Structure 1
Amino acid sequence: MQSIIKNSLDKSMSYPAYKSMVEQLILKDSNTGEWSVERMNFTKLNFSRMKRMDAKVEIPENTAEVFQQIDQKQYWIVLLESWCGDGAQTIPVLNKLAELSPKIELRILLRDENPEFMDLFLTNGSRSIPKLILTYENLNILTTWGPRSKAATKIMEDYKKEHGRIDDQIKKEIQIWYNRDKGQEIISEISNMEIQLNEHRLKPAS
């Protein structure tokens, strides 16, 4: 597993590099992964979403302290694609959190170009994205998160239970929810993950 993680990490990119790539794709009427008109249009829309979230996300002071106290190098590897609506609302939040600590290095990996890595981190048997994988510098897996916060997941599940499917209507509704939430549910969950990791690391061996 570690060799797969290392090889994938070597192919990954930073958040600025990812945004630059998406911008170039837009100029070419293209997208990551298999091309389609729908995915191309979502890529354009997602670039706007990322810019909006970059400007709107605010980290509460007490939450910022959690990340500022990290004392060991961490890689945050995020599986993503340019057309993924959840990803466009999530990756700017993860970037804001990663910027709080010099010990965190956020790296982005394209799902469809890295199936071997993706298949290590399936969600209920599917290649759901965005998917965040946290490792220490030795590449031991600490935990994973994604593709959505618990609150967003519940919205999707409740809709599917009522309507029997995931359709364009709920996809629009979840994007409206993301805009209102401004990343706070993601911030809370990732913060709690880091608190638990720290408590586990400091816990005396029995």
Structure 2
Amino acid sequence: MAINAAIFEKGYTYEQYQELVSHLTQEGKTSGTDQSEALIEYTKLNEQRMHRAAKTFKLQDETVAALRRIERPQYWVVLAEAWCGDAALNLPHIAAMAASNPNIQLRILLRDEHLPLTDQYLTNGGRAIPKLIAFDAETMDEQFQWGPRPAAAQQIVLDWKAAGGTDTNEKAVKVQKWYAKDRGKTIQEEFTVISNP
């Protein structure tokens, strides 16, 4: 399954995705088929995280300058789910970066509704999200990929796994602390590099 304009248009804008998460929270639900109490609680928490991440995020001049060098229209497709903490913490930054250049259109697809596509963009064999894939809007040629989290946060997860970590709450706390301290600086640095190969 390849991305095409029709699939792209079925995706949520960031504003629509925010509304979806809010609606799910009000209904005591989450996205996807797993409606466990834990994932529903994560969804509630993620609604707050998205608001907080958007408030504390400052788009750097260097990032804007780099993204404005994208002269051909691009589609940015992000695979995500409402229960995913990394999606909640990164999507506000991705949305702000996309909005800085009118040549960039962003859409969010729910991972579990698009598994054939997701399975083309695995991370270490897993369906890790969020996963962003940028395409040329006319040719649909892939331009770059990013995800599921900034490299420094990903290293925390890899180190935790290598140490035989089993307490996912411990991992989550370590990653959350990193995000709180970083405030979207690293993701901007990474996009400054990958968006202009």
TM superposition score normalised by structure 2 = 0.94
Residue pair 2:30, 2:39 contacting (<8 A) in 1 also:
yes
| 2:195 partner SS | helix
CA distance in 2, matches of 1:99, 1:28: 30
Q: Indicate whether 1:179 and 2:180 are aligned.
A: yes
Partner of 1:161: 162
Instruction: Output the CA distance in 2 between the equivalents of 1:6 and 1:125.
Output: 27
Amino acid in the other structure paired with 1:65: A
The amino acid of 1:154's aligned partner reads Q
What code does the residue aligned with 2:95 have? N
The amino acid across from 2:13 in the alignment is S
Percent identity of equivalent pairs: 35
Q: Is 1:90 the counterpart of 2:90 in the alignment?
A: yes
Give the structure 1 partner of residue 100 of structure 2: 100
Amino acid at match of 1:188: E
- AA paired with 1:157? L
Q: Answer yes or no: is the 8 Å Cα contact 1:78–1:132 preserved in 2.
A: yes
Q: In 2, are the aligned partners of 1:26 and 1:43 still within 8 Å (CA)?
A: yes
Give unmatched runs, 5+ long, in structure 1. 197-206
Structure 2 CA distance for aligned equivalents of residues 192 and 166 of structure 1: 34
SS of corresponding position for 2:129:
coil
What displacement does 1:7 show?
4.2
Q: Which runs of 4+ in 1 moved over 4 A?
A: none
Alignment-mate amino acid for residue 28 of structure 1:
E
- Equivalence for 2:21: 22
> Where in structure 2 are there 5+ consecutive unaligned residues?
none
Q: For 2:109, what is the secondary structure of its paired residue?
A: strand
CA contact (8 A) 1:156 1:166 kept: no
Greater Rg over alpha carbons, structure: 1
Deviations 1:25-47 (A, max 9, x none): 01100000021110100000001
Mapped to 2, the partners of 1:21 and 1:156 lie a distance apart of 28
Deviates more, 1:59-68 or 1:18-27: 59-68
Describe the superposition over 1:7-65 as per-residue Cα deviations: whole angstroms up to 9, x where unpaired: 43132110000000110101100000021110100000001000011111112212211
AA aligned opposite 2:175: I
SS at match of 2:163: helix
Counting matched residue pairs gives 195
CA distance in 1 between counterparts of 2:144 and 2:69 reads 18
Which segment drifts farther, 165-174 or 13-22? 165-174
2:177, 2:42 → 1: CA distance? 15
Deviations along 1:135-186, one digit per CA (max 9) or x if unpaired, are: 0012111121111111111111122222444621111120121111011111
Structure 1 length-normalised TM: 0.90
Partner residue, 1:74: 74
Q: How many angstroms apart in 1 are the aligned matches of 2:177 and 2:108? A: 25
Name 2:127's counterpart in structure 1: 127
User: Structure 1 pair 176/7, CA: closer, same or farther in 2 (3 Å)?
Assistant: same
Higher deviation after alignment, 14-23 or 116-125: 116-125
Matched, 1:12 2:14: no
